Amino acid sequence: MYNRFKYSQLIKDEAKRLGFESCGISKAQFLEEEAENLETWLKKGFQGEMGYLENHFDKRLDPRLLVDDAKSVISLSFNYYPKKQQNPNTYKIAKYAYGNDYHDVLKSKLKELLNFISTTIGEVNGRAFVDSAPVMERTWAQQSGLGWIGKNTLLLQKKRGSFHFLAELIIDLDLAHDAPFTNNFCGNCTKCIDACPTNAISEKGYLKANQCISYLTIELKNEIPNEFKFKLDDWIFGCDICQDVCPWNSFSAFHQEKELFSDNNILKFTKKDWEDISEDVFLKIFKKSPIKRPKYSGIIRNISFVKS
């Protein structure tokens, strides 16, 4: 007999075995409340040069346009908080970039989970997503009961914080759905807003991505505007400021995923090591790293900008 609750629990148990810290399931449906918010955000130009965010507007809001006859969105989070940290007196890179590219690591685990569903429950039609398609991952995570979207616009989880990757499986199997997370435990705290040196976080609850250090150092292809001079605080790839100051991240536990373990050589880099790196060495060291995204030229541009 078809048992939605039993199958949902089987999937959550397998997700835990694969290393995901949490797993929730929501009904695949149109995100009506998000439509106006997304349209307004795009019209204000907060996406900057990320023109791809303007594409596939309907698909971002309706997973049934990504997977035929989709019934469920399985949302998962994966801890990446590292035990070893960078040398504090060097150019800074976001913690998620200490190890191998998370896209590859999580995609592999999602494929295992999808294969488990097909072999254990029955053949399903579905797709795996890791920050690489028009999926509103934080909204779906909240809808699936994983946590709330904090003032820094990241998904926060009680006793876990925000140092986690989000991923999704959209499948045509009707499962037992979890209740959305309706509480918000940020309260009157504004530490993330106050700490952002480029004023990228709005008190109204949205991110001005075109002012975010992560955008400026990774996504921006042109020169970094002079208005941000002396505001990047030595960040050359991404930024963790709004997470580092968040009280909920005092609960962060060290991850155990070998593929994401810190590269000790990178963590020991001095400013001179970064400044003297050649393109050949860069390509060799960062072959499997997210740091390769802005390319060698982008990293050198960022270093030049923060040191001058």
Contact between 29 and 174 (Cβ < 8 Å): no
Residue with tokens 């035929």: 68
Catalytic residue chosen out of the listed positions 58, 69, 131, 244: 131
Q: Helices 4-17 and 102-120: crossing angle, nearest 10°?
A: 140
- SS3 of residue 207 by DSSP: strand
101 is catalytic: no
**114/123 Cα distance (integer angstroms):** 10
- Structure-block tokens of residue 291: 């740091």
- Specify whether the CB–CB gap between 89 and 277 falls below 8 A: no
Amino acid at 154: L
* DSSP structure string for 72-111: EEEEEEEE---SS---TTS-EE-GGGSSS-HHHHHHHHHH
Residue type, 163: F
What positions carry a catalytic annotation? 131
